[in-house]
Structure 1
């Protein structure tokens, strides 16, 4: 993990701009000095005016900006072009998903809630775990430390995978492309399911009278904190919002994707983190009334199918390339 956080310079980067004496030119030195201050100033102004970015498209835009700032600061003349070459297609796919996701709320199929409710009652010994956990732990209007911890875990969904991708892009480009392929396959497999099987989350099931009153803990904590949040560039105020995209849970699927992706090469300490992250997210989703237990299990199952199924196809493709080479 340390190697991911302290990346080496990619071998394919363009050499630094220099003068005839082999030293960086004046304009290059100014660009290198101003790259990060300009980036953080822009980010600060954006947060001050619009709130903290947390939607996928916003996080992606600022992540690409950080990578461009890093390339400029490093002095690679056309490093920013390499950033755009590798990341704009990924951004386009995320954008397409953000737009298409809402169509799951406008399909002719009936919205499902009874099967999820029945499964959760079976594994909860007659009571839904969300109801039980909120009765035990939640105090309306008075968030506890674990409510803030659950909120932090929930919000990590919007940037954790992208930060890991950025680290791999700098250090292991082959692993970056593989993780991107798995991420996109998982994301669009979930989208297809949202279209074919629209499903209510627990909080919406409660609003419709099929469960006792529930609170969306994360939303409640963020509202009480007074922290402004920037809405999605593509979804905010549009018809693309989708409250019935609950089965499977991508909040649960992405941590499992990371765990399965890194597990074979991870050390003992990293494996502990890889195991705890999906469990912490699962607890957060159930306690916060965002997903039923079955939604989480299906998210884990989708991640496993993608990692082992698509991963095997990618391995075979790589082997064929080596044989031809």
Structure 2
């Protein structure tokens, strides 16, 4: 009795084959963009290993398969965000030619949010400089680490867990590009209205800005000391925006997750994301990185950005509605 054997599965293509099968727009676009970024950084500030690692990962996503290309396209706004932030190191010296606002944010907080203690009116930052606790240091420091990964994780979850749901995929793209737009607006504000954070006033006072000041982990250094990880010392050692306190983009990221997450209709996600947003707001003030004014403006930038995005998203539907309602021509 003859037996028939099933055909052997086709061998999976190697990397060269996958690159050859990649649409030219993805291939050339990713190579040009990442190559230009690495070249500019290499000729100016020097390259770091994580820059090569990130670019290699994103290139593999762009060429590996149709599924990874969709993920690459969805995460592209966050890649551009990282590149733009890195490039702000090149423009940071421009701040020395601008008027840095040191006293105004401090006096605003003292006037509207000041707390009387022992006959002296303190800003919330000054209050928490006097009164702080190890357990709160641990929680707020951890929140200040997770705030960015919370947004990235949310975007990746939408793109991967709901990759066959067109509505969710559109939501992920809207989330990503609005996230990028608000960040660019925030970065631009650092040069339109450069402002000193609370920790700077504690160290240098309310006089003219000291352009030699270096970024500081501020009270987040207590988290480093408690855990022995030195995360904040390393992170702020590479910071490019010493005088970029307004707006607080730290609070924007969890607020984005809350606003876009609400469209999923998951109550547990709404509660957790809004609670995390409030925790990051508190952490920004408690850790001496932002005034209440900075937090309020960060919230405002986010709400305006999301509002504009939603208005633009409604326009095509509104334009299509009248056409859909017109009766067909009689024969």
Which TM-score band (shorter chain)?
A: 0.5 to 0.7
- Give the drift of 1:269: 2.6
1:200 maps onto 2:199 in alignment? no
Q: 1:98 aligns with which of 86, 92, 97?
A: 86
| Deviating more after overlay: 84-93 vs 171-180 | 84-93
How far did 1:224 drift? 4.7
Q: 1:110 aligns with which of 78, 99, 104?
A: 99
Deviation at 1:100, TM superposition (A): 2.5
Give distance in 2, aligned partners of 1:167 and 1:59: 23
- The Cα offsets for residues 292-311 of structure 1, whole Å up to 9 and x where unpaired, read as 11000000011110111222
Whole-angstrom CA distance in 1 between matches of 2:144 and 2:51: 15
| Structure 1 residue corresponding to 2:67, chosen from 68, 79, 89 | 79
> Unaligned stretches of 5+ in structure 2?
15-48, 116-120, 163-167, 208-215, 325-331
Cα distance change, pair 102–120 in 1 and its aligned pair in 2 (3 A): farther
Q: How does 1:144-293 map to 2 (within 5 A)?
A: 144-170=134-160, 171=162, 172-210=168-206, 216-227=218-229, 229=231, 241-293=240-292
Larger radius of gyration: 2
Where does residue 42 of structure 2 map in the other structure?
A: none
Q: Which residues in structure 2 correspond to 1:16-55 (within 5 Å)?
A: 21=7, 25=11
Higher deviation after alignment, 153-162 or 94-103: 94-103
Task: Measure how far apart 1:104 and its partner are.
Answer: 4.9
* Count of residue pairs the alignment pairs up: 264
Q: Name the SS for the 2:122 alignment partner.
A: coil
Matched, 1:127 2:134: no
- Could you say which structure has the greater relative contact order, defined with CA pairs below 8 angstroms and 6 or more residues apart? 1
After TM superposition, give the deviation of residue 243 of structure 1 in Å: 0.7
- CA shift for structure 1 position 124: 1.8
SS at match of 1:181: helix
| CA distance in structure 2 between the aligned counterparts of 1:63 and 1:266, rounded to whole angstroms | 35
- Structure 1 consecutive aligned stretches of length 4 or more whose deviation exceeds 3 Å: 19-28, 57-69, 76-90, 228-232, 264-268, 317-325
Aligned CA distance change for structure 1 residues 84 and 260 (closer, same or farther; 3 Å): closer
Matches of 1:158 and 1:319, distance apart in 2? 34
TM-score (norm 2): 0.67
Q: Find the counterpart in structure 2 of residue 141 from structure 1.
A: none
CA distance in 2, matches of 1:324, 1:236: 57
Contact 1:105 1:195 in 2 (8 A): no
What is the CA distance between 1:161 and its match in structure 2?
1.0
Contact 1:105-1:243 at 8 Å conserved across structures: no
Question: CA shift at 1:129, angstroms?
Answer: 0.6
Contact 2:198 2:290 in 1 (8 A): yes
8 Å CA contact 2:58–2:72 kept in 1: the answer is: no
